[in-house]
Chain A
Amino acid sequence: MKKSLSMLVLLLAAFALVLVGCQRAEEEQAAEPAAAEEQAEEAFSGVAAMATDVGGLGDKSFNDGAYEGLLRGEPIGFEARVVESKQQTDYVPNLSGLAEDGADIVFAVGFLMEEAVKEAAQMNPDTYFGGIDIGGDPEIPNFQGILYKEHESGFLAGLVAGHMTAEFSDASDKLNSDPVVGVVLGMFIPPVERYEVGFIQGVKYANPDVRVLSATAGSFTDQAKGKEASVAMIEQGADIIFHAAGLTGLGAIQAAREEGVLAIGVDVDQNAVAPDTVITSAVKKIPESIEVVLQSVVDGTFEGGTHVYGLAEGATGISEFHDFDSVIPQEVKDAVAEATELILSGELEIATTRAEIEDLLD
Chain B
Amino acid sequence: MITFDFIVNLLVATIRLSTPITLAAIGAVICERSGIVNIAMEGIMLIGAFFAAIVAFYSGNPWLGLLAGIFFGAIFSLLHAFATVSLHLDHVVSGAVLNILALGLTRYLMVLIVGHPGTSDPIPVGLSDYQFAIPVLSRIPVIGPMFFNQTPIVYMSFVLIILFTWFLFKTKTGLHIRSAGEHPLALETIGVSVYKMRYLGVLVSGMVGGLAGAYLSIENNVSFTEGMTNGRGFIAMAAMISGGWHPVGAFLAALFFGFADALQVRFQVFKIVDLPEEVFIIFPYVLTVIAVAGLVRKSRPPKAVGTDFMIERSED
Quick check: A231 and B13 within 8 Å, CB to CB?
yes
Q: Tell which of A19, A21, A63, A222 touches B118, judged by Cβ atoms closer than 8 Å.
A: A63
Given contacts A7-B89, A222-B230, contact A58 B269 (CB under 8 A): no
Q: List 20 A-B contacts (CB under 8 A).
A: A7-B90, A10-B94, A18-B101, A20-B108, A56-B226, A57-B116, A60-B118, A188-B276, A188-B278, A216-B280, A221-B225, A221-B226, A222-B230, A223-B225, A228-B262, A231-B13, A232-B9, A232-B266, A235-B9, A236-B270
Residues of A within 8 A of B9 (CB): 232, 235
Q: How far is the CA of A60 from the CA of B114 in the complex (A)?
A: 13
Residues of B within 8 A of A228 (CB): 13, 16-17, 261-262, 265
Question: Is A11 engaged at the interface, CB distance under 8 Å to the other chain?
Answer: yes
Closest to B232 in A: A224
Question: Is A6 engaged at the interface, CB distance under 8 Å to the other chain?
Answer: yes
Quick check: B221 and A216 within 8 Å, CB to CB?
no
Residues of B within 8 A of A64 (CB): 118
Residues of B within 8 A of A11 (CB): 97
Within 8 A of B (CB), among A148-182: 182
Within 8 A of A (CB), among B82-133: 83, 87-90, 93-94, 97-98, 100-101, 103-105, 107-108, 110-111, 114-119, 122, 128
Residues of B within 8 A of A221 (CB): 225-228, 230
Question: Is A229 engaged at the interface, CB distance under 8 Å to the other chain?
Answer: yes
Question: Is A225 engaged at the interface, CB distance under 8 Å to the other chain?
Answer: yes
The size class of the interface chain A forms with chain B is: 35 or more
Residues of A within 8 A of B119 (CB): 58-60, 247, 250
- The 5 A-B residue pairs with the shortest CB-CB distance, nearest first, are A58-B116, A58-B118, A18-B104, A218-B281, A216-B277
Residues of A within 8 A of B244 (CB): none
Quick check: B111 and A225 within 8 Å, CB to CB?
no
Encoded as 1 (CB less than 8 Å from any B CB) or 0, chain A from 185 to 224 comes to: 1001000000000000000000000000111111101111
Interface residues, chain A, CB within 8 Å of chain B? 3, 6-7, 10-11, 13-15, 17-22, 55-60, 63-64, 84, 86, 182, 185, 188, 213-219, 221-225, 227-229, 231-233, 235-236, 247, 250-251, 254, 258, 273-274, 362
Residues of B within 8 A of A63 (CB): 118
Quick check: A86 and B228 within 8 Å, CB to CB?
no
Having A14-B100, A17-B104, A63-B118, one finds 10 other A-B pairs with CB under 8 Å, namely A10-B87, A14-B104, A17-B101, A18-B103, A19-B104, A56-B116, A188-B277, A224-B220, A228-B261, A254-B222
Residues of B within 8 A of A247 (CB): 118-119, 225, 228
